């Protein structure tokens, strides 16, 4: 299978990450310095004291979706694990992707449980945690009219979720493609089924799930290295960012993240860069 060149890879400074790894422990961790546990929780700068408000997508299976009326998926379970280590409750609010980062910036949510690629543009409005995972993306098209490679999108119309960083990535790789934006994966899928677009472009796990759910679809052969996923936090909430980073390092080292990754992405390997970012992490 063909693989594209990495568009951008943003790796946190080694010193910062090393400090986080030294500070973390495999069990519940304190979220602040001196003072009572209640005070440390209050100092986290969450929108509601003691509660981590998290935006998630309801249709991006297996990363972030709704299952029997409840939030589910890798990012959702990771966020539950982080909240437990931070000593706070967690609430989830379903939202569209395009509004998620702006609403973190505006303090409607504390962070997100969805695949958010770190980009220079997004870093202007929010801060990001250390990496949660490194993402790849893939085309999905109809078997009756396959679009299997990025090169084959020339002159074609491709659906991408509104606000996604994949829009710029695909336009860079294929300048002659026409991008049609949709509010979510469900709308993109409907458009592809109806022949309104030639393909859709999304993360590899979502694309695999779509082909499983729709036998009339086929996967593209190109894997596009789209960058790293991390959790956005408002720039004026540095204590919350530090607490999330500390909790994230903890679940990376104690095997929690590895177990969740293999639960939701069976058969896939932990990205090598993630193992380098968190020395001692279980593959």
Per-domain boundaries in the chain = 14-132+230-277, 134-226
Interatomic CA distance for residues 139 and 54, integer angstroms: 29
Chain centroid, CA 59 distance in Å: 13
pLDDT of residue 10: 37
- Mean pLDDT over 41-69 rounds to 93
134-189 tens-digit pLDDT: 999 999 999 999 999 999 999 999 999 999 999 999 999 999 999 999 999 999 99
Q: Which residues contact 64 (CB under 8 A, 6 or more apart)?
A: 56, 57, 58, 71, 73, 74, 75, 76, 113, 114, 115
Topology match between the domains 14-132+230-277 and 134-226: yes
Interatomic CA distance for residues 50 and 184, integer angstroms: 31
Name the band, by pLDDT with cuts 50, 70 and 90, for residue 2. Answer: very low
Interatomic CA distance for residues 165 and 202, integer angstroms: 10
- Mean pLDDT over 74-96 rounds to 97
Percent of the chain with pLDDT over 70: 86
Min mean pLDDT across 36-45, 121-130, 207-216 is at 36-45
Q: What is the mean pLDDT of the chain?
A: 89
Name the band, by pLDDT with cuts 50, 70 and 90, for residue 37. Answer: low
Q: Are 143 and 104 in contact (CB under 8 A)?
A: no
pLDDT of residue 256: 98
Instruction: Return the CATH fold of 14-132+230-277.
Output: D-Maltodextrin-Binding Protein; domain 2 (3.40.190)
To 5 degrees, how large is the angle CA 90–CA 93–CA 94? 140
Architecture of the domain delimited by 134-226: 3-Layer(aba) Sandwich (3.40)
Interatomic CA distance for residues 281 and 252, integer angstroms: 6
**Is residue 3 pLDDT above 90, yes or no?**
no
Name the band, by pLDDT with cuts 50, 70 and 90, for residue 9. Answer: very low
Q: 95 in helix, strand or coil?
A: coil
Count of alpha carbons within 13 angstroms of residue 209, beta-carbon side? 20
**Is residue 27 pLDDT above 50, yes or no?**
no
225-271 tens-digit pLDDT: 989 999 999 999 999 999 999 999 999 999 999 999 999 999 899 99
pLDDT of residue 185: 96
**Is residue 113 pLDDT above 80, yes or no?**
yes
pLDDT of residue 190: 98
pLDDT of residue 35: 57
Write the DSSP symbol of residue 44: T
Q: For the residues of 130-179, what is the DSSP string, one character each?
A: S-SEEEEEEEEEETTB---SSGGGTT-EEEEETT-THHHHHHHH-TT-EE
**Is residue 16 pLDDT above 90, yes or no?**
no
Which residue is listed with tokens 């500390």? 246
**Is residue 28 pLDDT above 90, yes or no?**
no
Burial of 199 (0-12, 13-18, 19+ CB in 10 A): buried
Percent of the chain with pLDDT over 90: 83
- Mean pLDDT over 100-112 rounds to 97
Interatomic CA distance for residues 146 and 135, integer angstroms: 23
Cα dist. 194→61, 139, 143 in Å? 21, 17, 13
């Amino acid at each position: 299978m063909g693989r594209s060149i990495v568009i951008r890879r943003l790796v946190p400074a080694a010193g910062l990450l090393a400090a986080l790894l030294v500070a973390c422990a495999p069990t519940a961790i304190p979220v602040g310095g001196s003072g009572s546990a209640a005070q440390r929780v209050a100092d986290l700068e969450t929108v509601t004291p003691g509660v981590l408000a998290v935006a998630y997508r309801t249709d991006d299976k297996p990363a972030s979706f709704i299952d029997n009326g409840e939030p589910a998926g890798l990012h959702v379970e990771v966020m539950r694990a982080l909240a437990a280590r931070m000593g706070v409750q967690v609430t989830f609010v379903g939202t569209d992707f395009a509004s998620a980062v702006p609403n973190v910036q505006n303090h409607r949510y504390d962070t997100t449980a969805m695949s958010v690629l770190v980009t220079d543009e997004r870093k202007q409005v929010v801060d990001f945690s250390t990496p949660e995972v490194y993402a790849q993306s893939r085309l999905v098209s109809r078997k009756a009219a396959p679009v299997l490679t990025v090169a084959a999108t020339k002159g074609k119309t491709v659906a991408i979720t509104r606000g996604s960083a994949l829009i710029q990535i695909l336009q860079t790789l294929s300048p002659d493609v026409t991008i049609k934006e949709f509010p979510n994966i469900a709308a993109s899928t409907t458009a592809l089924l109806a022949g309104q677009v030639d393909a859709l472009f999304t993360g590899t796990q979502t694309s695999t799930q779509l082909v499983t759910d729709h036998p009339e679809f086929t996967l593209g052969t190109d894997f596009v290295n789209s960058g790293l996923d991390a959790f956005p936090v408002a720039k004026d909430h540095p204590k919350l960012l530090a607490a999330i980073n500390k909790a994230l390092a903890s679940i990376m080292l104690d095997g929690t993240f590895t177990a969740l990754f293999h639960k939701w992405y069976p058969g896939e390997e932990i990205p090598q860069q993630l193992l380098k970012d968190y020395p001692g992490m279980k593959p």
